[in-house]
């Protein structure tokens, strides 16, 4: 027990230390590296809290994809960074930011400390009704059945983020290819790993998605791995990013939220509630939603990392 | 029997931890990027390999053991590739020959 306590204390101190380092880092690139390390440490915290599903998501999306997006952003901002470093925000602004952060942290800490003992929980109900969903993993049951509306909104938010990135494209390249065309040495190490790893990674991604119904895993984690494999293939120059005007790409991007919404609306007729599933078909309907949602999330994440269109479409 | 397995696990994982420690010290103390990468790969390859070896003695069945070995092989592959890419960018001539 004491060893576990020592480990937890060290881990917590490390998380806070890396967080402070990330905020105070002078260069954007260094801050992003700190952020990725912070995300991986946070994943360890979730493992210590016996929440492997959250740990997987944090490592894959919080640290991996977000880290990749921020790396891209910091590279783009590098040219403007030196002049921007000269302008310091005023004392009032910094004081206001510090006050606001303190207020939020104190509020969160107060809520946690004032929770009644034992803390209110819906876990027994969630476990008791697990059989009705046909799933074996209570976390997936929460995501796909009890709180399906949250998951539906998450997929829509991802799509909105992509629309935001695409809207950065200048008019003359609209509908064109995202980012620069990557070329790697065909005999080089990047091409080698892309050819070797992508098939393995696709298999692992599908596996993580599929075991999500009974074990830690699920569509977001699996989709991130699939997206990473697509990004790897694009970076090695094995495939080019698809032009954003492609019909199949857009269909792929909206397929998940669309199927989710359609089955949710059908729930009004079949089960009497939006996103309600009839008990006999719950598992089947959930899998029918999960497959397109996984593909859509994977496509959205990969195209997000690829960035806004930069090369005009071929006519 | 289980005592012997536990002893083997402790031995291998401790040896792995030693390599991680040595790799970290090298990362902090070595003078240039290439030597630092060299130290780091020892932690990745040998350190993680020994930790996985130690955990193999505790694995529940052959599939769990295969998964552990798979994790090690994937890390080896990723580590070796990323090290190559960083080394190519870091060396005096730059990323291109």
pLDDT of residue A252: 94
Contacts of B21 (CB under 8 A, 6+ apart): none
Query: What is the residue range of B67's domain?
Result: 2-90
Residue A142: partners with Cβ closer than 8 Å, 6 or more residues away: A126
- The rounded mean pLDDT for chain A is 88
What ipTM does the predicted assembly reach?
Answer: 0.81
Residue of A nearest to B74 (CA): A197
Alpha-carbon dihedral sign for residues A94, A161, A262, A152: negative
In a domain, B76, yes or no: yes
Distances, alpha carbon A241 to alpha carbons A69, A181, A182, A222, A279, in Å: 16, 8, 9, 21, 42
Percent of chain A with pLDDT over 70: 97
Closest to B85 (Cβ–Cβ): which among A190, A196, A197?
A190
Kindly list the residues from chain A whose CB atom is less than 8 angstroms away from the CB atom of residue B85.
189-190
Look-up of token digits 């303190």: A102
* DSSP letter, residue A168: T
Long-range contacts of A234-237 (CB under 8 A, 24+ apart): A234/A182, A234/A302, A234/A306, A235/A182, A235/A184, A235/A190, A235/A194, A236/A182, A236/A184, A236/A190, A236/A191, A236/A193, A236/A194, A236/A195, A237/A181, A237/A182, A237/A183, A237/A184, A237/A191
For an interface test with A, the pick among B81, B83, B87 (most A C-beta atoms closer than 10 Å) comes out as B81
Q: Is residue B18 part of a domain?
A: yes
Distance between CA atoms of A154 and A152, rounded to whole angstroms?
A: 5
Predicted pLDDT at B97: 45
- Residue A85 pLDDT > 70: no
**Helix, coil or strand: residue A123:** helix
In a domain, residue B96? The reply is no
Q: How far is B52 from chain A (nearest CA, A)?
A: 18
Interchain proximity A197–B84, CB inside 8 Å: no
Q: Is residue B55 part of a domain?
A: yes
Look at A193 and B77 and tell me if their CB atoms are within 8 Å: yes
Name which of A49, A56, A67 is nearest A208 in CA terms: A56
Partners of A309 in beta bridges: A178
How many domains are there within chain B?
Answer: 1
In a domain, B97, yes or no: no
Q: What is the pLDDT of residues A107-134, one digit of tens each?
A: 999 998 898 888 888 888 888 888 777 7
Tell me, yes or no, whether B34 lies in a domain: yes
Exposure string for A122-131, b = 16+ CB within 10 A, e = fewer: eeeebeeebe
The structure tokens 């959205």 sit at A300
pLDDT of residue A282: 83
- In degrees, rounded to 5, the angle at the alpha carbon of residue A269 between the alpha carbons of residues A265 and A273 is 65
Give the chain B residue whose CA is nearest to the CA of A193.
B81
pLDDT band at A86 (very low <50, low <70, confident <90, very high): low
Q: What residue has token string 């599908």?
A: A206
Average pLDDT over residues A26-54: 92
pLDDT of A1 reads: 64
What are the tens digits of pLDDT across the range A160-203?
999 999 998 888 888 888 887 888 778 888 888 889 999 999 99
Q: How far off is chain B from A250, nearest CA to CA, in Å?
A: 32
Give domain status of residue B95, yes or no. no
């Amino acid at each position: 027990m004491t060893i576990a306590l020592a480990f937890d204390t060290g881990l917590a101190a490390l998380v806070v230390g890396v967080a402070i380092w990330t905020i105070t880092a002078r260069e954007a690139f260094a801050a992003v590296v700190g952020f990725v390390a912070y995300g991986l440490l946070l994943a360890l915290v979730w493992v210590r809290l016996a929440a492997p599903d959250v740990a997987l998501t944090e490592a894959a999306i919080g640290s991996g994809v977000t880290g990749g997006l921020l790396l891209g952003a910091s590279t783009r901002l590098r040219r403007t960074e030196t002049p921007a470093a000269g302008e310091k925000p005023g004392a009032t602004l910094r004081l206001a930011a510090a006050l606001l952060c303190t207020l939020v942290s104190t509020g969160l800490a107060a809520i946690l400390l004032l929770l009644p003992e034992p803390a209110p929980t819906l876990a027994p109900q969630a476990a008791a009704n697990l059989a009705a969903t046909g799933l074996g993993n209570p976390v997936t049951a929460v995501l796909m059945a009890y709180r399906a509306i949250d998951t539906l909104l998450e997929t829509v938010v991802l799509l909105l983020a992509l629309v935001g990135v695409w809207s950065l494209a200048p008019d003359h390249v609209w509908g064109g290819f995202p980012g620069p065309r990557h070329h790697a040495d065909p005999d080089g190490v990047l091409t080698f790993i892309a050819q070797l790893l992508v098939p393995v990674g696709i298999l692992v991604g599908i596996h993580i998605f599929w075991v999500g119904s009974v074990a830690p895993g699920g569509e977001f984690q699996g989709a991130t791995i699939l997206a990473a494999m697509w990004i790897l293939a694009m970076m090695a120059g094995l495939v080019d990013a698809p032009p954003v005007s492609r019909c199949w790409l857009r269909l792929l991007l909206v397929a998940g939220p669309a199927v989710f919404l359609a089955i949710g609306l059908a729930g009004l007729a079949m089960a009497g509630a939006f996103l309600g599933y009839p008990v006999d078909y719950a598992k089947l309907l959930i899998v029918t939603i999960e497959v397109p949602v996984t593909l859509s999330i994977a496509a959205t994440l990969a195209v997000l990392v690829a960035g806004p269109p930069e090369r005009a479409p071929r006519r | 029997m289980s005592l012997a397995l536990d002893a083997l696990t402790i031995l291998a994982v401790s040896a792995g931890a030693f390599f991680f420690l040595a790799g970290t010290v090298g990362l902090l103390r070595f003078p240039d990027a290439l030597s630092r990468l060299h130290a780091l790969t020892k932690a990745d390859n040998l350190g993680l390999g020994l930790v996985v070896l130690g955990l193999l003695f505790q694995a529940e069945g052959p599939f769990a053991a295969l998964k552990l070995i798979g994790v090690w092989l994937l890390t080896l592959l990723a580590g070796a590739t990323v090290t190559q890419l960083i080394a190519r960018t870091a060396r005096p001539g730059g990323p291109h020959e």
